[in-house]
Amino acid sequence: MSDKPLSIPTATISRLVTYLRILTNLERSGINRTSSDHLAEEAQVSAFQVRKDLAYFGRFGTRGMGYTVLTLRRELQRILGLNRRWSVVIVGMGRLGQALANYRGYSESNLYDFDIKGLIDVDPDKVGSSIHGLTVQHVGDLEGLSRAASVDMGFITVPVEKAQEAADALVKAGVKGILNFAPTVLEVPDDVAVEQVDFLAGMKRLAFYILNPHLKDLKDDDA
Ligand code: NAD
């Protein structure tokens, strides 16, 4: 029987991304070894939480000796899939879609590479226009584009009432991950992952924490 976990908390994955950033910074500073105590301090969680998060994926480091920064950084990169190139398409080239298409921070040398391969819209005034060297294509061309560019992920930046339609088009085109900026829950097959991005939800949480400063934003699972 496999000893791989059947499910992993989303918060653990978010923390792995944080640990990877900390390790990358340590490596850049020429530091070769670290400990769960140090990772915990930097990530503002407990050392127990760091060990618990890593334990989902195997045994790392040596008891009492900590971790080799380079090895753990590479392991986390491999676990997160951030050691390869990911092809991305943006569906909806309005204000937000254009801002995302113009963003230049999707790659980091020796780390991840999210490559924007296609821009999609339905508006005849936008289809055919060019943003950062990419031509906006009609949603009808999404399947062909996805096949040609082996698209892995799609951003949804269409009006909320069109978001499910955009998701259906991405699924039909074989895309396996959707970053949904539209404020709605999407229905997708089990083998398609959806991540929701909502800055207004962040503002609402912030309003709560400003009004309740005594309630600490606990970052540990069980704290
Ligand atoms: P916008 O109206 O400027 O742009 C929407 C674009 O989608 C238009 O170019 C339109 O032609 C295109 N479109 C419509 N139907 C389409 C379809 N079926 N396929 C492809 N393209 C289609 O809107 P915006 O201000 O850029 O906002 C886009 C979305 O992002 C909205 O749902 C908005 O609520 C959301 N939003 C989210 C956040 C966040 O933090 N998550 C922030 C801002 C906006």
- Strands 134-138 and 193-196 turn out to be unpaired
Does residue 8 or residue 169 have the better pLDDT?
A: 169
Q: What DSSP string runs through 95-140? A: HHHHHHHH---SB-TTS-EEEEEEEEE--TTTTT-EETTEEEEEGG
Q: Confidence class of residue 108 from pLDDT cuts 50, 70 and 90?
A: confident
Residue 176 in 3-state DSSP?
coil
Query: What's the rounded mean pLDDT across residues 33-45?
Result: 96
Find the range with the poorest average confidence among 43-57, 98-112, 149-163, 190-204.
98-112
Question: Of 129, 138, 157, which is best to mutate to test ligand 1, by the most ligand atoms within 8 angstroms of its C-beta?
Answer: 157
Q: List where CATH 1.10.10.10 sits in the chain.
A: 10-80
Q: List where CATH 3.40.50.720 sits in the chain.
A: 85-200
Report the separation in Å between the CA atom of 82 and the middle of ligand 1, taken as the mean of its atom positions.
28
Report the separation in Å between the CA atom of 186 and the middle of ligand 1, taken as the mean of its atom positions.
15
CB of 93 closer than 6 angstroms to any ligand 1 atom? yes
Question: Of 121, 139, 175, which is best to mutate to test ligand 1, by the most ligand atoms within 8 angstroms of its C-beta?
Answer: 121
Query: What's the rounded mean pLDDT across residues 194-215?
Result: 92
- Which CATH code fits 10-80? 1.10.10.10
Find the range with the poorest average confidence among 14-18, 109-113, 119-123.
109-113
Residue 57 above 70 pLDDT? yes
Residue 26 above 60 pLDDT? yes
Report the separation in Å between the CA atom of 172 and the middle of ligand 1, taken as the mean of its atom positions.
20
What per-residue confidence (pLDDT) applies to 134?
96
CB of 127 closer than 6 angstroms to any ligand 1 atom? no
Residue 211 above 90 pLDDT? yes
- Mean of the per-residue pLDDT values for the chain? 93
Q: Does domain 85-200 have CATH number 3.40.50.720?
A: yes
Identify whether the C-beta of residue 195 lies closer than 8 Å to the C-beta of residue 176: no
What per-residue confidence (pLDDT) applies to 65?
85
Q: Is 88 left (phi over 0), alpha (psi -120 to 50) or beta?
A: beta
CA distance 163 to 220: 33
Residue 1 above 60 pLDDT? no
Residue 223 above 70 pLDDT? no
Burial of 56 (0-12, 13-18, 19+ CB in 10 A): middle
